[in-house]
Amino acid sequence: MKNYAGFTDEELALQYVGGEYRAFDELLARNQQRLYKYILFVVRDPELANDVFQDTFVKVITRLQQGRYTASGKFSFWLTTIAHNIIMDSYRQQKSEHIVETDEDNDLSNLQSDELMDINRENEIVNAQVLNDVRHIMDALPAAQREVVYMRYYQGMSFKEIAETTGVSINTSLGRMRYALINMRRMARQHELQLNLEL
Q: Residue 106 and residue 124: Cα distance in Å, rounded? A: 27
| Cβ-proximal residues to 73 (8 Å cutoff; 6+ apart), any chain | none
Q: How many CB atoms lie within 10 A of CB 193?
A: 15
pLDDT in 10s for each residue of the chain, 199 residues: 688 888 999 999 999 898 888 898 899 999 999 999 999 988 888 988 988 998 898 889 888 888 888 777 788 889 999 999 888 888 775 554 445 555 565 555 544 444 444 444 445 555 555 566 667 788 888 888 888 888 887 788 888 888 889 998 888 888 888 888 788 878 877 867 665 545 4
- Predicted TM-score (pTM) of the model is 0.56
Domains located in the chain, CATH noted: 9-91 (1.10.1740.10), 113-190 (1.10.10.10)
Q: Residue 41 and residue 120: Cα distance in Å, rounded? A: 26
Q: Residue 151 and residue 174: Cα distance in Å, rounded? A: 12
Q: How many CB atoms lie within 10 A of CB 160?
A: 12
Half-sphere exposure (CA, 13 Å, Cβ side) for 24?
15
Q: How many helices (H) and strands (E) does the chain have?
A: 9, 0
Which amino acid is located at 52 in the chain? V
Q: Residue 25 and residue 2: Cα distance in Å, rounded? A: 12
Helix, strand or coil, per DSSP, at residue 105: coil
Q: Residue 142 and residue 122: Cα distance in Å, rounded? A: 28
